[in-house]
Amino acid sequence: MRTRPTSGALPALLLVAAACISTSSSAPPPPSVVSTPAATTIVSPSPPGRLTDVKVRLVLVATLEQPVAMAVRPGDPDLYVAEKTGRVVAIHDGKVLGRPVLDLTGQVSSGSEQGLLGIAFSPDGRFLYVNLTDTSGNTKVLSFSMGAHVADAASRRDVLEVDQPFSNHNGGDLAFGPDGYLYIGLGDGGSEGDPNGNGQSLTTLLAKMLRIAPRTSGLLPYTIPPDNPFVGEANVRPEIWAYGLRNPWRYSFDRQTGDLWMGDVGQDTWEEIDMQAAGSPGGRNYGWNRMEGRHPYAAGNLPGATLPVFEYPHTGGGCAVTGGYVYRGSAIPSLVGAYVFSDFCLGRVEAIRVRNGNVIDQADLGVSVGSVSSFGQDDAGELYVLSLAGGLYRLAPG
């Protein structure tokens, strides 16, 4: 089996990736408890025109040190960006504030797929949550109280820790869902092919999407939602919301419908995008390592697996999907309702429209960025593209 960059944003390929912006023409038994998130899927009206007619450009907002995640705080106009090396910085009116919001430099591991990997604010804006790999290479989710533009380092609280057997496939993203719970995406623990069988094991948190309330419960640092799909089942981790994920590198909730979109990095051949409609029960099995995308990978097919809504092969030069957002801004009306994403190696900003679980339109939007690590969304629903090479760009009408 060949060696390839195995995480969605942080392979050693960074050393040779382009740093410039360019334009181009170019399942197990059903869970015992069914979850019913607050949001419900809304069917949008037919979009005007096709995605191939959408005209966009990328506007440089700031240059940072290996930006890897972006978040916004309720009621705060600033953009908050995590740098892989350990800092969270704030951008106010297009300028990076001199004092970092949080500085964890020296507390994170420095491997190509390690570091400070994800940030999210609590729905009330009072707490900042970060996802990182510590100096031992293990995943930690931490909480900090927020002031005006700075986190209180002394308020640190360890919410979750997961041992990582290898240095890659750490996942690392964080997102609060419309139900108010914190979703934590974890990869399969690394190496290649999931050698420890974590994807299909319900006894480990690796290769999973977790769903927790990050507040204390007795002596526990977090609370298990009572409607999580495996609550009360023997020998199953109750934190699990979904499983069979190889490395969910960037996921998001559609701010209008509440649908969950996940970019899951493939192994040798296929990259995939998964979508779970709001109101759907948890406990879904996305197939890894029995499936890679819609295709058998190990031990043949997996009946009952939830297949991706979209996949693409590596034959065109792709290597690792970078998940994005459904566009809900107002600046680019013809893009509204489309899911925007990229690939770390290709760098093209692309979009798909999905209706009833099927892709009805897709297009390369004609702009690209080297080493796309993540996407961000501001309070107005406008989208941003982050590059490990340093750039933070806003998607704007062409």
Distance CA(227)–CA(207), nearest Å, equals 20
Cα–Cα distances in Å, from 313 out to 307, 359, 376? 15, 16, 25
Cα dihedral 54, 57, 63, 68 in deg (nearest 10) = 10
Per the DSSP assignment, residues forming a β-bridge with 274 are 262
3-state helix, strand, coil in the chain (%, to 5): 5, 40, 55
CA angle, 212 then 290 then 3, to 5°: 95
Under CATH, which architecture does the 12-397 domain have?
6 Propeller (2.120)
Distance CA(221)–CA(389), nearest Å, equals 36
Distance CA(83)–CA(390), nearest Å, equals 9
Q: Which long-range contacts (CB under 8 A, 24 or more apart) does 304-308 make?
A: 304/27, 304/28, 305/27, 305/244, 306/27, 306/244, 306/274, 306/276, 308/264, 308/272, 308/273, 308/274
Cα–Cα distances in Å, from 270 out to 42, 182, 275, 295, 316? 30, 28, 16, 8, 11
Q: Which tokens hold the place of 52?
A: 């191939």
- Parallel, antiparallel or unpaired: strands 208-212 and 240-243: antiparallel
Residue 78 burial by Cβ neighbours in a 10 Å radius (0-12, 13-18, 19+): middle
pLDDT tens digits in sequence order for the chain, 398 residues long: 333 444 444 444 343 344 344 444 333 333 333 333 334 444 445 445 799 999 999 999 999 999 999 999 999 999 999 999 999 999 999 999 999 999 999 999 999 999 999 999 999 999 999 999 999 999 999 999 999 889 999 999 999 999 999 999 999 999 999 999 999 999 999 999 999 999 999 999 999 999 999 999 889 999 999 999 999 999 999 999 999 999 999 999 999 999 999 999 999 999 999 999 999 999 999 999 999 999 999 887 899 999 999 999 999 999 999 999 999 999 999 999 999 999 999 999 999 999 999 999 999 999 999 999 999 999 999 999 999 999 999 999 99
Cβ(212)–Cβ(184) below 8 Å: yes
Q: pTM to 2 decimals?
A: 0.90
Q: Which tokens hold the place of 222?
A: 């977090």
Q: Please, what's the largest Cα pairwise distance for the chain?
A: 57
Cα dihedral 248, 140, 19, 190 in deg (nearest 10) = -50
Cβ(288)–Cβ(188) below 8 Å: yes
Locus of tokens 């062409």: 398
Domain coordinates in residue numbering, the chain: 12-397
